[in-house]
Amino acid sequence: MMKLEKLKIFKGTVIHSLKIDHVEILPNSLLGVNGNNGKIEFLKSNINDFEGELLSLEKDYQIDKNQDIVDLGNKFIIPGFIDTHAHAPQYHNAGTGTDLPLLKWLEKYTFPVESRFKDLEFAKNVYSKVVDRMLKNGTTTVCYYATLHLPASKLLADIVGQRGQRAFIGKVCMDRHSPDHYVESTADSIKDTREFVDTILAAGNPLVQPIVTPRFAPSCTDELMTQLGQLAQEKNTMIQSHLSENLDEVAWVKSLYPTLPSYTHVYKHFNLLNNKTIMAHAIHLSDSEISLIKQCEAGISHCPTSNFTLSSGCLDTRKILEAGVKLGLGTDVSGGFHPSILYVIKDAIKSSNHHHFNNAQYKPLSFEEAFYLATVGGSQVCGLQDTIGNFLVGKEFDAQIIDPYVANGPFDVFEADSLKDIFQKFIFLGDDRNVSDVYVKGNKIDL
């Protein structure tokens, strides 16, 4: 007999993805989570005889069915969302400064607010709020950019750790083409990044990992790019940056690197493009750049809310998927004004529909595919495909409990609605009011 002292069992409807074009909707399920390691112990679905099933579980696991079972009733459980690209300091500006394209937007709104994070009180206020906001919206994993400041970047990691979120956190590196009030020397950038990586690793929280973060090629000298590539390799960390978001940016990179074949090749040249790399946007890529990304096994963070707001363009997600490149979704707060991946899911569908307007043969993203990208796709981009993304046995339990019937909620359910209809209504009409509980690695988060 297996004795598990700490087993939590969720009884009700479980929804997740195993394949990109199909959502598994599993009524009458029992999902067991091992409280010792936060992993999924079992998932049994379409159960007819709950009493019999529970009796056998009582024998196998010595559970107390009055204490260890959470009855979901008419709520359902889905994986936590994975935001593969968000700027924590920019949350201060979310919903403002939506009138300019990328390079002017950076100068006018973004660098000024990021430079304020030398003030730790200011940082503490914004960072506490962004982490809370993400969790309330069911986002259990985030790839965060902080700012170039070491103390505030460490503070973000502390706050994420205290709140129990899963995250990759990057001290931003930028030693050129930046305002005088918001730039660092090459030596400081490397020294502080090294200290940041070492500090996060020494803290030993498996949920919070450092990520090497050159802001984008135009804001890093060759020397800095070279050393960041070496550091990421030495410490075996993830890498994140921006790629081919805006046509003026692409032309700028071409002028900075006239002898390299493309923007993507710039990152490759400095050993910053590999299977641990997340590139945000990647809209204006040639076929050979997509092939290079595939060959290097890097992933793309698709940020359509930002791409619409900054008028950057519409990523051809079908082409990226058909090329076999890992693809996840990102809010890109505050280029993207909305902190919720639910919002990004809808913009990913609309962005894909735009390609369909111009080409009747084009197969736009279905809502099932967009949900997959928000969960399983994100896990692949983060290198966590064996750890999170869905409820396969052995993965860690990162989840949200969704209440479609919450009082004063954002949508209505009618008698004829199937479970799939209700789930789709949540995707299109739902918001944080429907998120009743959030779990990361089996731990319930205080919302």
Footprint on this chain of Zn ion (rule: CB under 5 A): 280, 332
Q: Assess contact for 278 and 85: CB atoms under 8 A.
A: yes
Is 305 or 380 the residue whose CB approaches Zn ion more closely? 305
- In residues, how long is the chain? 447
Is 36 or 96 the residue whose CB approaches ligand GUN more closely? 96
Question: In this structure, is the dihedral angle defined by the CA atoms of residues 248, 180, 195 and 256, taken in order, positive or negative?
Answer: positive
Contact positions with ligand GUN (CB under 6 A) in 104-133: 106, 110
If we measure between CA atoms, which residue out of 278, 214, 273 comes closest to residue 84? 278
CA distance 124 to 101: 29
Is 285 or 435 the residue whose CB approaches ligand GUN more closely? 285
Phi, psi of 293 (to 5 degrees): -60, -40
Q: CB under 5 to 8 A by kind: which of ligand GUN, Zn ion, none does 102 bind?
A: ligand GUN
Q: For residue 61, what is the enclosing H or E element?
A: helix 50-61
Q: State the residue for tokens 């700027």.
A: 87
Shortest Cβ 51–ligand GUN spacing (Å): 54
If we measure between CA atoms, which residue out of 212, 125, 187, 197 comes closest to residue 157? 197
Return the HEC string of 403-438.
CCCCCCCCCCCCCCCCHHHHHHHHHHHCCHHHEEEE
Is 16 or 281 the residue whose CB approaches Zn ion more closely? 281
**Applying CB under 6 A, does 216 fall inside the site for ligand GUN?**
yes
Contact positions with ligand GUN (CB under 6 A) in 256-315: 306
**Applying CB under 6 A, does 245 fall inside the site for ligand GUN?**
yes
Show Cβ contacts of residue 386 under 8 Å, excluding neighbours closer than 6 positions.
394, 395
Is 77 or 174 the residue whose CB approaches ligand GUN more closely? 174
**Applying CB under 6 A, does 242 fall inside the site for ligand GUN?**
yes
Shortest Cβ 14–ligand GUN spacing (Å): 35
Q: State the residue for tokens 């679905």.
A: 45
Is 34 or 153 the residue whose CB approaches ligand GUN more closely? 153
Shortest Cβ 249–ligand GUN spacing (Å): 7
Which of the stretches 57-65, 102-110, 257-265, 292-300 binds ligand GUN when contact is defined by CB under 6 A? 102-110
Shortest Cβ 306–ligand GUN spacing (Å): 5
Task: List contacts with ligand GUN (CB under 6 A).
Answer: 87, 102, 106, 110, 215-216, 242, 245, 306, 332, 335
